[in-house]
Amino acid sequence: MISQEEKRVVPIQVAERIVRQTLDGETISYIVSLPDSEKKIELSKIKGNVYSDLKTVRQTMISNFVSIVDKLIASASETTEKSFVVNDSPDCEEKTAESVSDSIDQEKHLESMHDFDNAEVQFADGSTAKVNFNINAPVDY
């Protein structure tokens, strides 16, 4: 079960299956055991979605996560289009990809260095900056 109140996966065990036959038809209800409690609870009173196995729980959670990420990306894309001038030409995309690649190469180079003082960093656009720090020093966030 994926609990809506606690936002976590909670295993439950069916302790009792109750079948009621009335003039209106048949109803089935379940009494379940929870891992954190000695008492048993009627399943219909629990707020959450019930699944028969963990594989289905996993697939559901991943699907929900992907859906949320897709909405966030779509929103960011929409905001970008409204807020910035976007050049969609292939030449612009190629330069951007090249710039990102250069930045990644520079980051890898910096990571390979242990200590440095008064280093000069050159960015993809040709500008430079002098830095003075020890990458092994503790960082406060």
What backbone torsions phi and psi does residue 5 show, to the nearest 5 degrees?
A: -75, -45
Which H or E run contains 77?
helix 54-83
Q: 70 exposed, middle or buried (CB, 10 Å; 0-12, 13-18, 19+)?
A: exposed
* Cα 79 from Cα 3, distance rounded (Å): 33
Q: What are the pLDDT tens digits along the chain (141 aa)?
A: 777 777 788 899 999 999 999 999 999 999 999 888 888 999 999 888 899 889 999 998 899 889 999 999 999 988 988 888 766 655 555 555 666 667 666 665 555 544 445 555 555 566 666 554 444 444 443
pTM equals 0.51
What type of residue is 94? E
